[in-house]
A and B are shown apart, each in its own frame.
Chain A
């Protein structure tokens, strides 16, 4: 029998009402990059939390290097050489890289031996090609570099089984390439990597083998070399998935949204948009490409009225709406799928029908004067639920918190499309969603476009921007630095524009 460095056999983890892992098996070889693939809610995180000692399984056994172990806490996991890079970084902004890395495991006695720690960090960084400045403060370095600090934390603790949780979500294409290189270095050094992801491209690019989970069940493990994206997607979703976004040519009409010399400050009072210009036409999807934090959120919030504009103009069908309140912009035809659906888009403790009425509760037929018409609200909700295939356990009465992310997003999209808007602002509409839901949402956006609506798509996923948009604007440091057509550019070129190394043509 082959020796596995980690073997999880028949793991079952129940939560009240659901079985998060049902007899799941995972076998990790030494020196391999093993992808763990599954949709949201498939049980990937639960399985890794079991391996990392956050949860105790009800059934099943875990073997590490051939020995049966009980991982009662993350400390036990550390001792076994298991390290995890979380999706949300756990760094202290005002500490330096070295200080963050040694936190909780400081060398020396009562006095911390910084020199030794620093040298060790430099050595590790060089060994694996991590290229990290040990003395920089976290707040001053890029997200990609912060992630490498997280990786160094794991290495510093001598882990040789490394779990990476959705590591590419926040990276530019170039940074993703670097990360892939780093992972390959690990494998070459004999370390084993578990890569949690739902992105098939990355798996094809980096992983040796992949295990697929679906609805808590173990579907199977395949060699990546003898597999294809289509096959993996089918295993993950349980049916055939079409990747190519099917769309006819765009047929853009006149400008509906024109932004001129827009200046907006962020929360800290620092300029986030510095004289941004763009125009959006009827019947087109304009993709905004850029690395997180270059003013995307401020742009979207300025258009929808959630954020104050310092100067400049936002013209909706020729009328400047800069000083209009949120509601009158809504009524003027701006619909908005917010980037953070749980914080902005939904009242999580409201019922589904109440959420679907969030923008129309005060209008006929959902209310008459100041009285709500609960029957009409329910009817309207049923209509949207039917049209947009929103699934939930208790129909209109389901508390939205108990719905899956994909269905929450479908509910928002249904509500916003139902407003029959002129302009749809879709800010990261597919973030954190599975393949099936992404496919669905793309289809809906294209339908809107074909219906001669204008769609502004903000996304950090370049693939999405490339495949869905009719025109792409690159945003960098609060300005549009390129206006290109997807068929006339490449991911690499966009990546360069996104990092400010290249300016594109401006229309």
Chain B
């Protein structure tokens, strides 16, 4: 039988094409693509290619910030990817992040505990609330067949307004933010800060690495993960095999919510040290959809595509500083999605090109 190109190959083609098209866009609008790539590389590695051998060639702060910004994006990628492996479309990572973030903030403010207890408790609160926020659409889907996309979109708005309400209700909050969380609940690290030229890099990266391992472990190594994947690929066959499909759907959404909730903890315990009133969505959940899509819903794929989208997101400041509109980074992100979505067609085009070449060889 005919073998398709792998997702990995097509993803790389999608990335290359999107850089190519974005470069054309930049040239047409009179911007040098070189600046874009220099900024992107500088953000992701800390190395300034325009200053090789000169002072200021390497700045670890960029790298630290890049990782810090990437952490929640990888987690929302895992959230969307996990649900997707069970055949569910979790548009609700956005709301699960917000609610999870509140959970961490609440524990960080309301409790006073030693660090060894406080940090895990705050993270657990975030994951539990995120899981609850994912479980609700899951159970509605399982019991009543309500489409999860509709419910999760709705619950994103509920999360935004409920989150703001709850944040303001915490003792000492003003209209913008809460008081500073107890230091014992924070992921901040002076060590990591110093190592990376005073960036906001924090201990949360350990949690993210664990999350990636757990994601892979559940899906690939456990009977539960086998059931989820069976449900994801073919609900009828899963039912035939005696798998309780509704319960697996609810669990899957809850676990997806837990990953997103953990992303919320990264934000409020790591990036910031207070809870924030949000005027609008911050798009972590939507970034997660893109990350999962490009990463092919595999643990490693999500890790790498999370790095790329994180890089694009965090390079925006540097780009603006060098006169490149931040829309360019967004255009690139959008183009990647577009080309990944088009991968079926790209596959076909490559086939056609391949067979044309064969024919040419034959006729010569």
**Across the interface, which residues of A come within 8 angstroms of B223, CB to CB?**
361-362, 367, 370-372
- Inter-chain CA distance A275–B226, complex, in Å, is 39
Q: Is B190 at the interface (CB under 8 A from chain A)?
A: no
- Segment of B70-78, B123-131, B227-235 engaged in the interface with chain A: B227-235
- Inter-chain CA distance A367–B238, complex, in Å, is 17
- Segment of A121-129, A196-204, A224-232, A342-350 engaged in the interface with chain B: A342-350
Q: Is the CB of A327 within 8 A of B233?
A: no
- Segment of B200-208, B239-247, B302-310, B315-323 engaged in the interface with chain A: B239-247
Q: How many B residues face the partner with a CB closer than 8 A?
A: 23
- Inter-chain CA distance A330–B225, complex, in Å, is 21
**Across the interface, which residues of B come within 8 angstroms of A349, CB to CB?**
233-234
Interface residues of B in 330-359 (CB under 8 A from A): 351, 355
Q: Which of A17, A347, A354, A357 has the most CB of B within 10 A?
A: A347
Q: Is A263 at the interface (CB under 8 A from chain B)?
A: no
**Across the interface, which residues of B come within 8 angstroms of A336, CB to CB?**
240
**Across the interface, which residues of B come within 8 angstroms of A354, CB to CB?**
226
Q: Is B143 at the interface (CB under 8 A from chain A)?
A: no
Shortest distance from the beta carbon of A451 to any chain B beta carbon, whole Å: 24
Q: Is the CB of B2 within 8 A of A338?
A: no
Residue of A nearest to B225 (CB): A372
- Inter-chain CA distance A317–B225, complex, in Å, is 34
Interface residue from B1, B2, B240, B355 paired with A306 (Cβ < 8 Å) = B240
**Across the interface, which residues of B come within 8 angstroms of A359, CB to CB?**
241-242
Interface residue from B3, B221, B237, B244 paired with A347 (Cβ < 8 Å) = B237
Q: How many A residues face the partner with a CB closer than 8 A?
A: 32
Q: Is the CB of A344 within 8 A of B233?
A: no
Q: Is the CB of B233 within 8 A of A347?
A: yes
Per-residue B-contact encoding for A347-386, CB less than 8 Å = 1, 0 else:
1111000100111011000010011100000000000000
Q: Is A501 at the interface (CB under 8 A from chain B)?
A: no
Q: Is the CB of A326 within 8 A of B1?
A: no
Q: How many A-B residue pairs have CB under 8 A?
A: 70
Per-residue A-contact encoding for B9-25, CB less than 8 Å = 1, 0 else:
00000000000000000
Interface residues of A in 17-54 (CB under 8 A from B): 17-18
Q: Is B222 at the interface (CB under 8 A from chain A)?
A: yes
- Inter-chain CA distance A371–B220, complex, in Å, is 9
Q: Is A402 at the interface (CB under 8 A from chain B)?
A: yes
Q: Is the CB of B2 within 8 A of A18?
A: yes
Q: Is B224 at the interface (CB under 8 A from chain A)?
A: yes
Q: Which of A16, A18, A345 has the most CB of B within 10 A?
A: A16
**Across the interface, which residues of A come within 8 angstroms of B241, CB to CB?**
358-359
Residue of B nearest to A331 (CB): B242
Q: Is B236 at the interface (CB under 8 A from chain A)?
A: yes
Interface residue from A330, A350, A361 paired with B233 (Cβ < 8 Å) = A350
**Across the interface, which residues of B come within 8 angstroms of A348, CB to CB?**
233-234
Residue of B nearest to A329 (CB): B242
Residue of A nearest to B2 (CB): A17
Q: Provided the pairs A17-B1, A348-B234, A402-B1 are in contact, do residues A330 and B221 lie with their beta carbons within 8 angstroms?
A: no
Interface residue from B1, B226, B237 paired with A361 (Cβ < 8 Å) = B226
Q: Is the CB of B230 within 8 A of A370?
A: no
**Across the interface, which residues of B come within 8 angstroms of A344, CB to CB?**
236-237, 240
Residue of A nearest to B241 (CB): A358
- Inter-chain CA distance A338–B240, complex, in Å, is 9
Q: Is the CB of B3 within 8 A of A358?
A: no
Q: Is the CB of B229 within 8 A of A350?
A: yes
**Across the interface, which residues of B come within 8 angstroms of A15, CB to CB?**
2
**Across the interface, which residues of B come within 8 angstroms of A253, CB to CB?**
none
Q: Is A393 at the interface (CB under 8 A from chain B)?
A: yes
Interface residues of A in 307-357 (CB under 8 A from B): 325-327, 330, 336, 338, 343-350, 354, 357
Interface residue from B222, B224, B230, B351 paired with A358 (Cβ < 8 Å) = B230
Shortest distance from the beta carbon of B255 to any chain A beta carbon, whole Å: 14
Q: Is the CB of B233 within 8 A of A343?
A: no
**Across the interface, which residues of A come within 8 angstroms of B355, CB to CB?**
16
Q: Is the CB of A358 within 8 A of B237?
A: yes
Shortest distance from the beta carbon of A428 to any chain B beta carbon, whole Å: 15
Q: Provided the pairs A17-B2, A348-B233 are in contact, do residues A370 and B224 lie with their beta carbons within 8 angstroms?
A: yes
Q: Provided the pairs A347-B234, A348-B234, A370-B223 are in contact, do residues A327 and B1 lie with their beta carbons within 8 angstroms?
A: no
Interface residues of B in 173-232 (CB under 8 A from A): 221-226, 229-230
- Inter-chain CA distance A32–B238, complex, in Å, is 48
- Inter-chain CA distance A325–B241, complex, in Å, is 11
- Inter-chain CA distance A39–B3, complex, in Å, is 23
**Across the interface, which residues of B come within 8 angstroms of A362, CB to CB?**
223
Shortest distance from the beta carbon of A97 to any chain B beta carbon, whole Å: 33
**Across the interface, which residues of A come within 8 angstroms of B221, CB to CB?**
371-372
Q: Which of B222, B236, B355 has the most CB of A within 10 A?
A: B236
Residue of B nearest to A359 (CB): B241
- Inter-chain CA distance A6–B355, complex, in Å, is 29
**Across the interface, which residues of B come within 8 angstroms of A358, CB to CB?**
230, 237, 240-241
Shortest distance from the beta carbon of B109 to any chain A beta carbon, whole Å: 37
**Across the interface, which residues of A come within 8 angstroms of B233, CB to CB?**
347-350
Shortest distance from the beta carbon of A321 to any chain B beta carbon, whole Å: 13
Per-residue A-contact encoding for B134-150, CB less than 8 Å = 1, 0 else:
00000000000000000
Residue of B nearest to A399 (CB): B1
**Across the interface, which residues of B come within 8 angstroms of A345, CB to CB?**
237, 240
Shortest distance from the beta carbon of B2 to any chain A beta carbon, whole Å: 4
- Inter-chain CA distance A359–B240, complex, in Å, is 9
Interface residue from A343, A357, A367 paired with B237 (Cβ < 8 Å) = A343
Jot down 21 A-B pairs with beta carbons below 8 A, ordered by A: A15-B2, A17-B2, A18-B1, A304-B240, A325-B244, A326-B242, A343-B236, A343-B237, A347-B229, A347-B230, A347-B233, A347-B234, A347-B237, A350-B230, A350-B233, A357-B226, A361-B223, A361-B226, A371-B222, A371-B223, A372-B226
Q: Enumerate chain B interface residues (CB-CB to A < 8 A).
A: 1-3, 221-226, 229-230, 233-234, 236-242, 244, 351, 355
Given A15-B2, A346-B237, A350-B230, 15 further pairs, Cβ under 8 A: A17-B2, A304-B240, A306-B240, A326-B239, A330-B242, A336-B240, A343-B234, A345-B240, A347-B229, A347-B233, A347-B234, A350-B229, A357-B226, A371-B221, A402-B1
